[in-house]
Amino acid sequence: MGAVPVNPATPESRTGPTDRLASLTSWDADWTGLRVVVTGLGLSGFAAADTLAELGAHVVVVDGQESPEHRAKADTLKIVGVQDVLLGDRHTAVLPDVGGLAPELVVTSPGWRPNQPLLAAAAAAGVPIWGDVELAWRVRERAGRKTADWLVVTGTNGKTTTVGMVESMLLAAGQRAIACGNVGTPILDAIRDPEGWDTIAVELSSFQLHWTHHIEPAASAVLNLAEDHVDWHGSFEAYCADKAKIYEHTRLACLFNEEQPMTMRMVEEADVQEGCRAVSFTTDTPGRSMLGVVDGLLVDRAFLEDRANQALELGQLQDLGPIAPQHQVANALAAAGLVRAIGVPPEAVRDGLRAYRPGDHRIQLVAQADDVLWINDSKATNPHAADASLAAFTDVVWIAGGLPKGVSYDELVTRHVGRLRAVVLIGADPGELAGSLRRHAPDIPVLSTAVRDTGTDPSDGHQAMAAAVREANAVARPGDVVLMAPAAASMDQFESYADRGNAFIDAVARLMEAKGLGS
């Protein structure tokens, strides 16, 4: 199979593909024979290739990995009608042809960067590039099946929690609903459900939004913004610009964070549909057209007729569970605003919050012994998430470190130096965080040598985590919280943030057993 020359002047790349793609706005449109290259064979890439093959498109899939798992996926895709699957790095540097002709479309997995050679070649050749979310929007309508409203959520942190809360509230309201997208079920798998849904809650990452060109959600929300994924986007400004795309063409309500003015500016600059409202949420007392907190109650002053003088009770802080830090309250209010925008009643918001169970690795209480709490927040993969986690506690022995993703830790350390009792560093190269601690918290004990000097490969995260837990136990005293909130990605020592969290849970369990204490 040959590669397509990079020639932006080819007539087909200028006219034909674009004209045809404009007509592909439902499942029942004529997708037959459309020549598509799908990049990536993860969950979203596999779902995209499978969907396109079902639609009758001619599909070639490219992925740099040649693992047994990828070869098995390739075999499955060929059975369902994908023309070819090209595995190995040599295939990711050029834009392949499809059946001997230039592709008309590239559908990329969200993790592929815009400057990746194959994608750069497609852009130079004028071949449109979609993500899985764009494809899902195009095929959402299908004869004989419900077409769901979309409630969409992005932000640096809290996305998974918020869409989970949205799903729980919708279910409490008696709707057929699902959380999907950048969490759990790939959005294309949800879209292809034969019955359809009343509403879907869609978590969207900045990567997914970068490759999304046109969706029309019923309601949208940006939870918060902080420096993250700068290595992927190239700058914080570019990262924010991709996040802001979530508000475009929203029909009913754009939810923004009253405590982060940047999110309000995003709404002000968005091209929304006529009649769409700007509604904010705050963890303080809300004004008109806001959701907030009054005397321990979550209240709505936006989605009611007399919002100038009244507020609707949506629930109580205790409905969020035994640990309800400020950022969790904000997530709950954002979720409530999204569902209230489509008419979900207040009691369903309350019941949904009570029924919601946070996922593992999100401020998860692992053990309580000797008057010390052991908390797993492995999902805190950047400084903004760790900031929220640290702010929930007073005296903290902090286990942190990992792959920093090009961000700075100075502001995080400066903000929380007063609550730190000690810091235990993990990560194959914790130098960035260690430097911030030296500069801004010189009097805080930093324990790292014993963790790394285990006689094992520094990439062995489970050994390092066990050592970190031992170090934390040695310095923790009654009233402390041992908080594993790494403020960094996990891939330097672990398979995923979940693997890192499980390593912490296992190490704490072994410690409790050795001490003869229950968790």
CA distances from 388 to 132, 136, 427 (A): 31, 33, 21
For 64, how many CA atoms within 13 A lie in the half-sphere containing its CB? 10
Supply the pLDDT for residue 487: 94
The secondary element (H helix, E strand) that includes residue 445 is: none
Give burial (CB, 10 Å; 0-12/13-18/19+) of 269: exposed
Supply the pLDDT for residue 39: 98
Asked whether 43 and 186 are in contact (CB, 8 A), the reply is yes
Known binder of ligand: residue 479?
A: no
Give burial (CB, 10 Å; 0-12/13-18/19+) of 7: exposed
Supply the pLDDT for residue 5: 39
CB neighbours of 213 closer than 8 A, spacing ≥ 6? 130, 134
Supply the pLDDT for residue 450: 59
The secondary element (H helix, E strand) that includes residue 24 is: none
Mean pLDDT of each 10-residue bin along the chain, 519 residues long: 40 56 96 98 95 98 95 96 96 95 96 94 97 97 94 93 97 98 90 95 95 97 84 85 97 97 97 98 97 97 93 95 85 98 98 89 87 93 89 94 87 96 91 94 86 55 92 95 95 91 95 76
Known binder of ligand: residue 160?
A: yes
What one-letter code names the amino acid at 169?
A: M
Helix, coil or strand: residue 383: helix
pTM: predicted TM-score of the whole model, two decimal places: 0.79
What one-letter code names the amino acid at 370?
A: D
CA-to-CA distance for 285 and 300, rounded, in angstroms?
10
Where exactly does CATH 3.40.50.720 map onto the chain? 11-135
Asked whether 319 and 143 are in contact (CB, 8 A), the reply is no
* Phi, psi (rounded to 5 degrees) for 515: -85, -5
The CATH code of the domain at 11-135 is: 3.40.50.720
Known binder of ligand: residue 159?
A: yes
Known binder of ligand: residue 2?
A: no
Superfamily grouping for domain 364-514: Mur ligase, C-terminal domain (3.90.190.20)
CA distances from 281 to 155, 170, 286 (A): 14, 19, 7
CB neighbours of 166 closer than 8 A, spacing ≥ 6? 151, 153, 177, 179, 201, 335, 338, 339
Known binder of ligand: residue 157?
A: yes
The CATH code of the domain at 144-355 is: 3.40.1190.10
Asked whether 387 and 381 are in contact (CB, 8 A), the reply is no
The secondary element (H helix, E strand) that includes residue 130 is: strand 129-131
Supply the pLDDT for residue 350: 98
Where exactly does CATH 3.90.190.20 map onto the chain? 364-514
Asked whether 74 and 87 are in contact (CB, 8 A), the reply is yes
Asked whether 388 and 156 are in contact (CB, 8 A), the reply is no
CA-to-CA distance for 172 and 336, rounded, in angstroms?
12
CA-to-CA distance for 172 and 318, rounded, in angstroms?
18
> Helices then strands (H, E): number in the chain?
20, 20
CB neighbours of 479 closer than 8 A, spacing ≥ 6? 371, 372, 395
CA-to-CA distance for 260 and 403, rounded, in angstroms?
26
